[in-house]
Structure 1
C-alpha cells in the first residue's frame, strides 16, 4: 500500500537529508513534526480501539483472534510514537489532543453497521491515511521518516480484508453494490478529514506547501491527493468493488 514510487526516488536533499537533531533546530519544523507524530499516535490508538470493537462483530472465533492480533499491533505502533514524543521532550497526550476531535468525529460519522463494512472501513480508511503519511514522510528528517514508515507497516489487515470481502461478494454478489457505496463515502470523509486537520494546524500546512519541508508546493499537494485517489481506486479493484 505504498503510494510514492520508491523505484523513482531521487536522492534526499534539504531536511530529508538531515537527522532529527539537525532538522529540529528549526522551531517551525519541530512543531510540524510534533503535530505529525501526535496525529499519528492518536490515529494508532483509535485504530486499536476500532479493531477491538470490530472483533466483537467477527462471525468466527478465528476471525475474532485475527482482528485481536491486528489491534495489538496497532497498539504497539502507538507506544512507539508515544515514546518518541516523550524522548524529544514533548508530552504525548498534549501532542495528541488537537487531533482527537477530528478523528473521533470521522469515526462517529463512519461507524460500520456490520462486519463487512468494518473490514472495508479499516482497509480503505487506514490505507488512505497511510498513503497521506507516506507522502509526508518523504520530506521528513531521516530519524522521523524511519519511525513514521515503521509504524505504517501493514498489520496484515489488507490481505485479510481483501480475502473476506471478495469471498462475501462471491457468495452474495449484491453485497458488492452496498460496499462500493460505503467505500466511496469513506473516501470522501477521509480526504475531507485530512484536509481539515492540516488546515487547522499552521505548522503542518506550512510543511505541505513548502515553507518547511523542501520539495512541496501547492501544485505538488494537488498531485499528492491525485496519487492517493488513484491508489484508492486500485484498492477498490482488489476488493472486487467499483470505485
Structure 2
C-alpha cells in the first residue's frame, strides 16, 4: 500500500535499508541518503519552514511513493520506468562508484519523479503557490552537501582522481547537479499539470527516455573517465553495509 505520511515513508525506507537485498548489493546506498533528506524535510515541516506544511507533506509522500513503488516492482519482477531500471541494474554491479550510485538514484528520482509528483498534487490554478516551498527544498539539500561529500570521502579515499580528470567531484558538482535537476523538475511539473491523461502519459514516457539515457551515461561515461572511476572503485569498500553506515 502507498504511504500516506512521512513517518510511513521513513519506516518503508528503513525496511529497504535493513533488507537482505541492501546488504548483498549496492541498492541500499540511495535509500540511505534519501532517508536522511526525508528526515530533514519532516523537521522543516515541524519547525514551520514551509509556507504550507500539510501540502509539503503530501508532495513529499507522493514523491517518495514513486521510488518505493519502483523498488517494489523491481523486486517483484514487474516493469519499472527506464530511469529506475538503469539505477537498479547498476545496484547489482560491482563497477559503479558510490558517487555514481547516488547520482543515478538522484537522476531518476529528481529528473523524472519530482515533476510528476508536484503535478499530481496540484492543479493549473494552484501550482504556482507551490514554488516557494518547492525551492525551499533546494536550501535543505544544499545545506547537506558538505556533510554528504565528507561521508563519501570517508569511504572513497581516491575521489580526487575525478578532479584531475575534470570531473569536479567537490561540493559544487553535487550542488549543480541538484540545482539543475530540480530546475528541470519544476519545468516538467508546470508542463505536466496542463496536460490531459493521454498527453500526460506520452510526455512522461518522453521524460523517462531522456532521464534513462542520462542515467546510463552517468554509470558508463567515456573511456578516460571510466578508467578513473575504476581506480576510485578499487579503493572503495566491497561491503555495502560499511558504506551505508557512513552515509546514514
What TM-score, normalized by structure 1, do the two folds share?
0.41
What TM-score, normalized by structure 2, do the two folds share?
0.40
